[in-house]
Amino acid sequence: MREIIFDTETTGFDPKTGDRLVEIGCVELIDRRETGVTFHAYFNPERDMPAAAEAVHGLSIQFLSDKPLFGARVDELLEFLGDAPLIAHNAAFDFGFVNAELARAGRPALDMTRMCCTVQMARKLHPGAKHSLDALCTRYGIDRSHRVKHGALLDAELLAHLYIEMTGGRQIGLGLAASATVTVAAGSDPVRIATPARPFREPRPHTASPAELARHSEFVAALTQPLWHDSP
């Protein structure tokens, strides 16, 4: 099964008030394993960069001024996304910005039923705990020492590791049962990820043979002053 983990960086919090998407990073998973295939792009937002936003991701308007507009790479992005489920941290935020840019480019919005939010997953798994990407990476032992500032591709790669751990870790591929199914909420519909069924194997005998029982009896009979003969 193909899934896409993605993250965005923006000029602010709300595309409805003029904030724009400036970076997107996507990581491909197949059967919950990273394939090494990614999509990454910077975009010229055609506006200024607020200091507060630049402090988070480090992307200045000078750096972005020669980058392509979103519409110039929209087809490449949509081809990469395909029809796969889309996983993001605080996914409604990322979907909102991507869909706003798609609308500007005259393209249909992403179907919200494709959305899987790892913040919502974390709230169910760890109620009352911190659910930031940093906090969850610490909880699951994921190294984030190289994360100095936010970056869409870097954060998507961290989130891919986190998502795998939150949905069963690497053990899901070990075949601990004849078959297993992991259910992950994606929008209003579940995404079911089934591991391949293992071939049936006859159980190995674990009972002692008559010869082994006879040798054990001989050994016990030869013991002198066994503890179980002591008085309580």
- Catalytic positions are 150
**Cβ–Cβ under 8 Å, residues 163 and 87:** yes
Written as tens digits, the pLDDT of the chain (232 aa) is: 999 999 999 999 999 999 999 999 999 999 999 999 999 999 999 999 999 999 999 999 999 999 999 999 999 999 999 999 999 999 999 999 999 999 999 999 999 999 999 999 999 999 999 999 999 999 999 998 877 678 899 999 999 999 999 998 765 444 444 444 444 444 444 444 444 455 666 666 667 788 888 888 888 888 887 776 665 5
pTM of the model: 0.73
For 31, counting Cβ atoms within 10 Å of its Cβ (0-12 exposed, 13-18 middle, 19+ buried), the class is middle
Alpha-carbon distance of 42 to 69, in angstroms, equals 9
- Residues 6 or more apart from 170 whose CB is under 8 A from it? 164
Reduced to 3 states, what is the DSSP secondary structure of residue 218? helix
Instruction: Give the total residue count for the chain.
Output: 232
Nearest-angstrom CA–CA distance, 111 and 95: 9
Domain annotation for the chain: domains and CATH numbers: 2-194 (3.30.420.10)
Q: State residue 160's pLDDT score.
A: 96
